[in-house]
Structure 1
Amino acid sequence: MKIALVRQKYTPYGGAERYMARLVTCLASEGHEVHIIAISWEGPQTAGVNFHPVQIIKRPGWLKALSFSQGCAKIIEQERFDIVFSLERTLHQDIYRAGDGCHQQWLILKNLGKGSLHKAWTWLNPLQLAYIWLERRMFTDPGLKAIIANSQRGKEDIIRLYGVNPDRIHVVYNGIEPVNPEQSQRDRSRQMLAQEFALGNELRLLYVGSGFKRKGVAVAIRAVARLKAPYRLFIVGKGRTSTYRRLAQRLGIEDKIIFTGPRKDVEQFYLGSDIFVFPTLYDPFSNASLEAMAYGLPIITTQYNGVAELIHPGINGFVVQDPLDDTAIADCILKMSEPTQRQLMGKQAAETAAAFTMQRNLRETLAVINMITTSKQFASLSA
C-alpha cells in the first residue's frame, strides 16, 4: 500500500513524533510504500520511506496552521495515496490519530479559574479560532473513515463536542518499550542523582514533560510547598522556568525545586526518584506518566490525564479530580510518605504499565489501518 503519514515536524523529545517514527519503521518493514508529509523530518532514515516537504507561511501562527493543512491537501491530491494517516488537524485524511486530544476541550480547561477577560481573549484569539475551525471541519468530514483516540476520555470528548459516531472512534492506548530494571540500577541512579544535585535522604518527587503551564508545574510547586518533611522536586523537560522560579522563591522553597531542562538520560530520574507528580490540566494520555509507572513509580495525576484510566487509587497511584487543587495533591504525597507502602504501590504501577507495550500499540493501530484499507478496496470494487 501507498501510505502517507502527516506530522508537522520531528523532534526526538516529542512523544507523538517518536510514536510516528516507530510506525514508519513498522510499516516500511512490512513492505508498504511509506510517505511522510511534514514541514521538516529528521527522524530515522528508513528504506522505502519518502519525504514530502510542506511549504508554509510561518507568521502569524494561525496562518501557519492553515497553510500547513492546505499544503498537505495539495500533496495528497497530487500523489493519490491509498491511505492518509494524520497526526495533525488537516483537511484530508482517512484516519486521524487524536493524540493531542480535542483543542476545544483544552481551551475549556485552560480557562478554569480565569476571569471573563481572559476567557474572551482565549476564544477570540485568531490562532485558537483557526485550530477550532480545522478541528470541527476535520471531525465532521464524511471522508474521515476512522479516528484513533488514546483514551476513553478522549473518545468521549470527541463524541460530546462534535457528535461523531462512536463506532468510528477506536481507543488505542499509547505504548512504551518494556523496562525491567534491577535494584542495582535503581541504586546506581539514586547515587548519580545524589552526586549531581547534592542530595541526602529527602523524598524525591519527579515531574517530566514540556508545556509547563498546561501540565501543571505551578500546581506541583504549590503542592510541595505544603509538605513538612524534607523533599526535592525535579522538573525535567523543556520550558521557560522564570515564572516558576519566582513562584518557588515567593513560597520560600527555591532550594527544593530543581529545574534540569530536557535530559537525554531521563531514565536516571525515573529510576532514582520516589513519586511521579503530574497535575496536568489536560493530557489525552501522558507518555511520561506511563513511563514513570513502568519504572516502578506510583503516580499522582488528574482526571484529565488519559493515564488516569489505568490508576487504581491507593493501589498504584492517585487521581485528583480538580487539577488546581494543590492541597489534594499534597495529601496524596503524604499518603505515600511511608517507604514500604510507596514501594508496593510502585511495584503495582510497573505491573499495570507492563501490558501497554509499543508492540501492542502498533498491532492495534495496524488493525485500524487494515480495516480502513479493506473497506476502501471493497468500496472501489463495488463502484
Structure 2
Amino acid sequence: MDIALCYESVLPARGGAETYLGDLARRLARDGHAVHLYACRWDAASLPPSTHFHRLDVPSGPRFLRPWRFGEACEAALRGANHDVTVGFDKTWGQDVLYPQGGLHAASAAHNQLKFATGIERAVATVGKWFDPAAWSFARLERKQYLSPKQPLVVVNSRMVRGHFERFYGVPPEAVRVVHSAIDPLRFAADDRLVRRQHERDSWGVTPDTTVGLFVAMNYRLKGLAPLIRSLPHVPRTKPFALAVVGHPKFERYRRLAERLGVADRVRFLGHRGDPKDAYFAADFLVHPTFYDPCSLVALEALACGLPVVTTRYNGASELLSAADGVVIDDPHDAPALGAAMAGLLDHGRRAPMSAAARAAGTRWTFEQHYRALLDVFTEVRRLKRAA
C-alpha cells in the first residue's frame, strides 16, 4: 500500500507519539509499503531510508492557531495526491483515517475538571476556560475534524475513548475502530535486572523488605499525585512501604503536601528520568491514579516489567487489566479506596502471583499485534476507497 502519515514533528528522541510514528514507519517499510511523511520537521536517521518526505511550512504564531495552520498545510499538500490511505495523528483533518492517540480534547477538558476535589474549584476552573482562546480554538478544530461532511474512519486506543466519541459528538461506535496501544516488551529485557534493582533501591535508601509503589508521570496534577499522597495515611505502617515518584523535576509543592500529612518519610521524589527502566525494576507495583489517560503506556510498561498496576477507570489501559494483575478504583479522590488498593499489595503472598500474571499480560499485547490490527484498518479503508 501507499500510505501517507501526517504529523507536525517526528523527532523520536522526544518520546511519545513521535517515537510511535518512527516505529510504525519502520514496520510499514519492512513489509514493503510505501511510506510518505507530511511533516514540518523530522529526524531522518530514525526513519526508514525508503521514506518519502514532504516538508510543510513550520506553523508560527500563537499556540492555539498553529494546529490550524498545520492542518491547512496538510490539506493543501494532500490535494490531488493519490495515496491508498492517508492518516492524521493529531489536530489535522481531511485524512482517510484519524488516530487521536491523546483522546478527544472535549473529553480531556471534562476530565481535567475532575482533578479538582471540590465543586467550587471546578466551577472556578470552568469559568477560567471561558477566557482561554486555546480551549475555544481546539474545541472548534475538533468539531471540524469529526463533524465535517467527509467523515474519517476513526481509530482510538481504548473502548473508553470510543465511548467519548459517541458521548461528545454522536459518532456511532461502528464508525470507530479500537486498537489498543502497545509497547515492545523486549525494551525491558535485562540479564542484570536484579543487580540494577538492588543498586537503584540502595540509592533510594529503602531496605530489602520494603515494598515500593512507583508513580511515573510528567503531569503530576492530571495523573493524580496529590490524591495519591493524600491516600498514604490509609496505608498501614505495619509493613515497610515507600512511594517512588518519577517525572517532572518540579515537585516541591508535593513534598510540602507529604510533610503536612506526616508521610514525607514514605515518599522518594526522584525527579526526571530519561529512561525510567531501572525505576520499574526497583519497584514492586505501579500506582497510577489518573484523571484521564486514553491508554496509558506507563501501565503497559509496568506490566511488561512484572508490576501489578493500581489505576482508575479513567485510564483506557484499565480495559487490559484483570483482577489477577491489577486493581481499578472508581475515583482518584477516594483516599481510603486508593490506600486499601496499595495496602493489599504489601502482602508478598498476594503480590507474587499478581506479578507473574502482570508479566504474562505484558507480553500478550505487543507492538506487532497492534501493527497487524492497524494494518487491517488501512486495508479496510483502501477497499472502501476503491469501491467508491
TM-score by length of 1: 0.91
Partner in structure 2 of residue 135 of structure 1? 142
**1:73-84 to 2 correspondence within 5 Å?**
73-77=75-79, 79-84=81-86
> Given the superposition, is the C-alpha separation of residues 348 and 59 from structure 1 closer, same or farther in structure 2, using an over 3 Å criterion?
same
Q: How far, CA to CA, are the matches of 1:344 and 1:66 in structure 2?
A: 50
Contact 1:211/1:239 (CA < 8 Å) preserved in 2?
Answer: no
Deviates more, 1:62-71 or 1:156-165: 62-71
- After TM superposition, give the deviation of residue 298 of structure 1 in Å: 0.7
- Are 2:291 and 1:281 aligned? yes
Contact 1:96–1:147 at 8 Å: present in 2 too? yes
Query: RMSD across aligned C-alpha pairs, in angstroms?
Result: 2.3
d(CA) in 1 for partners of 2:60 and 2:349? 53
Matches of residues 168-183 of structure 1 in structure 2 within 5 Å? 168-179=175-186
Distance 1:212 1:36, change over 3 A: farther
- Superposition pairs for residues 112-151 of structure 1, below 5 Å? 112=114, 113=118, 114-151=121-158
- Greater shift, 5-14 or 349-358, is seen at 5-14
Deviates more, 1:88-97 or 1:111-120: 111-120
Tell me if structure 1 keeps the 8 A contact 2:258–2:267. Answer: yes
CA deviation profile, 1:108-164 (whole Å, cap 9, x unmatched)? 111124332211222442111111111111112342331111111111111121111
CA shift digits 1:327-362 (9 cap, x unpaired): 211110011111121111111122222210100000
Residue in 2 that maps onto 1:67: 69
Match of 1:299 among 309, 314, 319: 309
2:102 corresponds, among 95, 100, 103, to 100
- Cα gap change, 1:13 to 1:245, in 2 (>3 Å): farther
**Is residue 215–residue 282 contact of structure 1 (8 Å, CA) maintained in 2?**
yes
Contact map agreement 1:235 1:260 (CA 8 A) in 2: yes
What secondary structure, in the 3-state scheme, does the structure 2 residue paired with 1:276 have?
strand
* Residue 360 (structure 1) aligned with residue 373 (structure 2): no
Taking a change above 3 Å as real, the CA distance of residues 331 and 265 of structure 1, as seen in their structure-2 partners, is same
Q: Distance in 2 between matches of 1:4 and 1:346?
A: 40
- Residue 300 of structure 1: how far off its partner (Å): 0.5
Provide closer, same or farther for how the CA distance between residues 326 and 185 of structure 1 changes in structure 2, counting only shifts above 3 A: farther
Residue 221 of structure 1: SS of its match in structure 2? Answer: helix
The offset of 1:272, in angstroms, is 1.7
Q: Which residue of 1 aligns with 2:16?
A: 15
* 2:36 alignment counterpart: 35
Matched residue SS, 2:279: helix
Deviation at 1:364, TM superposition (A): 0.4
Q: Do residues 213 (structure 1) and 214 (structure 2) align?
A: no
**Contact 2:214 2:287 survives alignment (8 Å):** yes
Q: Is the contact between residue 189 and residue 269 of structure 1 (CA under 8 Å) also seen in structure 2?
A: no
Equivalent positions of 1:313-332 (< 5 A) are: 313=323, 315-332=324-341
In structure 2, what is the Cα distance between the partners aligned to 1:262 and 1:179?
23
Aligned to 1:346: 355
Of 176-185 and 15-24, the range deviating more from structure 2: 176-185
User: Counterparts of 1:146 and 1:182 in 2: how far apart (Å)?
Assistant: 36
**Identity rate of aligned residues, in percent?**
30
In 1, the alpha carbon distance for the partners of 2:378 and 2:24 equals 11
Q: Is the 8 A contact 1:223 1:330 kept in 2?
A: yes
| Alignment of 1:308 onto 2:315 | no
Match of 1:336 in 2: 345
Question: SS of the residue aligned with 1:84?
Answer: strand
Query: How far is the alpha carbon of 1:256 from its aligned partner?
Result: 3.4
CA distance in 1, matches of 2:384, 2:357: 41
- 1:40–1:333 CA distance, 2 compared to 1 (3 A): same
Match of 2:47 among 45, 48, 57: 45
CA distance 1:123–1:298, change in 2 (3 Å):
farther
Secondary structure in 1 aligned to 2:24?
helix
Structure 2 residue identity aligned to 1:28: A
What SS is found at the alignment partner of 2:155? strand
Q: Secondary structure at the match of 1:61?
A: coil
Partner of residue 170 from structure 2, selected from 160, 163, 174: 163
Question: Can you give the 5+ residue segments of structure 2 that lack an aligned partner in the other structure?
Answer: none
Q: How far is the alpha carbon of 1:192 from its aligned partner?
A: 1.4
What's the counterpart of residue 246 of structure 1?
256
Aligned length: 378
Closer, same or farther: CA 139–316 of 1 in aligned 2, 3 Å = same
- SS of corresponding position for 2:49: coil
Q: Write the distance in 2 (CA, Å) between the matches of 1:219 and 1:186.
A: 31
User: Contact (CA 8 Å) 1:93, 1:143: kept in 2 or not?
Assistant: no
Q: 1:275 to 1:52 in 2, by over 3 A?
A: same
Aligned residue in 2 for 1:268:
278
Residue 190 (str. 1) matches residue 197 (str. 2): yes
- 1:75 Cα deviation from its structure 2 partner: 2.1
Deviations 1:176-230 (A, max 9, x none): 2134978974422321112322221322111123222211122222222443433
Which stretch of the first structure deviates more once superposed, 107-116 or 85-94? 107-116
Q: Cα gap change, 1:52/1:140 in structure 2, threshold over 3 Å: closer, same or farther?
A: same
- Provide, for residues 36-59 of structure 1, a one-character-per-residue CA deviation record: whole Å limited to 9, x for no partner: 223322361311113334334444
